[in-house]
Amino acid sequence: DIEFSHRIIESGAKVILVPDAVVFHKRRTSLKKFFRQVFNWGVARINLYKIDRKLLEPVHALPALATLVLFLLLCA
């Protein structure tokens, strides 16, 4: 979704906000599945960075950092 949206914006196409849009998120049912999801997001971000460096910002590291902190707290 991010890379597709980036290509649309870069092409100069008009992008609009749909305030009434409904978005569904799949919730992870265990910590293991949650950690796997965050790991996969990190891998995807690296792949996006390889496509275009403008697609990576420092804020994108926050989920991985929060997961690491949670993991360290659980292990302590």
| Domain ranges within the chain, ordered by starting residue | 23-75
Per-residue confidence band for 58, with pLDDT thresholds at 50, 70 and 90? confident
Name the pTM for this structure. Answer: 0.59
Model pLDDT, residue 19: 95
Specify the DSSP class assigned to residue 58: G
Query: Is the CB of residue 55 less than 8 Å from the CB of residue 2?
Result: yes
DSSP assignment letter at 59: G
pLDDT of residue 6: 84
C-alpha distances (whole Å) from 28 to each of 11, 18, 31, 35, 57 are 35, 27, 8, 9, 25
